[in-house]
Amino acid sequence: MSRVRERVHFRLIQMPCCNTLFCWVNPRLPNYCPECGERVFAKIKADPSVILVSDETGWLNLQEY
């Protein structure tokens, strides 16, 4: 078994289109809502209050079997 530890930028986003809560660990913001498919990038940039939690020093721990 090997372990992988990677630093990620974690965000909890309330999608402006359908209010779905979405966990995001990509440094870029999402282009589309995964729930309804609407374009959300511009809406999130215009209203950053939809990002409920942001942690730039988060860690993603993976364990391979």
What total number of domains does the chain contain? Answer: 1
Residue-number span of the structural domain to which 50 is assigned: 2-64
Give the C-alpha separation, 48 to 5, whole Å.
Answer: 28
- Tens of pLDDT, residues 17-29: 999 999 999 999 9
Q: What is the pTM of this model?
A: 0.83
Residue 2, H or E segment = strand 2-14
Predicted confidence at residue 64, as pLDDT, reads 80
- Tens of pLDDT, residues 24-47: 999 999 999 999 999 999 999 999
CB atoms within 10 A of CB 35: 13
Give the C-alpha separation, 42 to 55, whole Å.
Answer: 21
